[in-house]
Structure formats: C-alpha cells, structure tokens
Structure 1
Amino acid sequence: MQKETTIDHALRATWQAVAKMYNEQAAKHGSTMSTAFVLLNIDYENGTPSTALGPLMGMEPTSLSRILKTMEDKGAIFREKHPEDGRSVLIKLTDYGKEMRKVSRASVIAFNEKVKEELDEEKLNNFFEVTEKINQLIAERDIFNENKRKAI
C-alpha cells in the first residue's frame, strides 16, 4: 500500500496544509493558529472556565497553559475568579482579544465558504459522514483489536 493511498496520509497531509494556511494568515496579525483556535473557543461575553478549554479543544493542559500565558502577555485575555466557584478561573477576552477573535472567525468563515463554493452539498455531506465514522471507530477503540482482525 502506497502512503499516498492511505486514509491516514490523506488526513495528515490535508490537516498540515490547512494548519500551514491558517498559520500564514495568523502571522499577518502577529498570531498563530493555536492562539486563534483558543480565541474562538472562549465565550465572547462570559468567558470560559480554564479547566473547560483543554477538553473543549482536545488540547493537552501544558500546551494550553503555554498558549494562555502568551495570550495574556499580549493582552488578548485576562483571568478572573469564577463568580460561582472560587476555586475555578474564567478566561475572558480583552477588547484586543475580541478584535483578534473577529479576525480569526472571519478567516475560518472565508475558508469554509471557499470550500463550499468548490464542492456540492452531497460531497460535503459525504466528507462529514466519513470523518464522523472515522472518529466513531477511533472512539470505540476497536481498530487494533487483534481478535477481530485477520493477521497482517
């Protein structure tokens, strides 16, 4: 099996191209794709508990902590005690963070609109169906079950 014909290669190569595209766009605004992703996952009005951000984005706590520190240093976010749970901290957007979030959102919308212009609804539905099924297979942790697979 050639790498160009494997599902994982197509997924990885496509994601790397998307990430590069977003990083190039973010760099124009002195940011990164990771920072933009965090901005888009913080509740615009009320903030988001810091403990909810990692799982929300599928990001490891150490990576998220580093990004949040950088964002705080740049003035995009601030931390505030959670009004209902004194042990928890809310991550909130500053005015600058809200502006950067708008820029990030516009980039995501532009990408999605361009792809939708190029593909018909059936192809997009198929794409989402396939990615949903892949995620389901991974979540079931049944892919590498030796008892159910033929020997390679």
Structure 2
Amino acid sequence: LLNIDPEGTPSTKLGPKMGMESRSLVRTLQTMEEAGLIRREACTNDKRVVRIHLTDQGRQMRNVSRDTVVKFNRAVQGRFTDKQLDNFRQVMSELDRILEQEQLF
C-alpha cells in the first residue's frame, strides 16, 4: 500500500519497489484487489500498461500501515547495530527467494 502512488503506479514498477518477483506480485495484487484495497486500470495512453490505484479503503489502510511502520521504526531505532541489520536483511532476502522458488504462498 505504501508503494502505490496517489496517481496510480504501473504494475511493472511495483515489483522492484517492493522487492518481489512477478509471480508473487501478481498473487499479492489479486489478494489486495479481492479485499477491495486496489483497483486496476488500463493506461489511457498505452492500453498495454496497467496502473494500480488505491481505493478509498486502500487509502485508509495505507494510513494505518504508514503509522504502524513509523511506530515500529521508532521502537527499534538504535537497538541494533548496522551489522545486525545487514544480517537481518540478508536472511529476509534469502527467505523471500526460498518462498518464491518453492511457491509456498
């Protein structure tokens, strides 16, 4: 939700922004659309391009998500060394790769 521009974001730009592979992104967008958080629209200039827009409910959830992220960041800020954070990112990246490869979700 936090990566979707208020004017809409091309679906092809979301994967890299979110660090997701195409298959995972498609499943995530389907789930979000079914939950009423986003809608897909063909670009008026180029019908091959699909832009993702937040619904009213999606905008509300975006605000909740942003507040939660800020609160979390404040709670953990300064409690970990840069090395610990780098290790965490490496582990999370590997877990993401495994999930994508094994198609567990």
TM-score, normalised by the number of residues in structure 1: 0.51
Deviation sequence 1:40-67 (CA, Å, 0-9, x none): 1111x21110011111111011111111
Find 2:34's aligned residue among 73, 81, 84. 73
CA RMSD, 1 decimal = 2.2
The TM-score with structure 2 as length reference comes to 0.72
1:54 to 7, 12, 15: 15
Structure index of larger Rg: 1
Count of residues in Structure 1 that have an aligned counterpart in Structure 2 = 87
Higher relative contact order (CA 8 A, sep 6+): 2
Q: Which runs of 4+ in 1 moved over 3 A?
A: none
Structure 1: gaps of 5 or more residues: 1-38, 136-152
Letter in 2 for 1:65: V
Can you give the 5+ residue segments of structure 2 that lack an aligned partner in the other structure? Answer: 91-105
**Letter of the structure 2 residue corresponding to residue 61 of structure 1:** S
Q: Secondary structure at the match of 1:112?
A: helix
> Deviation per CA, 1:84-142, whole angstroms, max 9, x where unpaired?
322100000000000011111111000111123xx2xxx87x628x73xx98xxxxxxx
For residues 51 and 63 of structure 2, the distance between their equivalents in structure 1, rounded to whole angstroms, comes to 20
Match of 2:4 in 1: 42
Q: Percent identity at matched positions?
A: 52
Give distance in 1, aligned partners of 2:19 and 2:73: 21
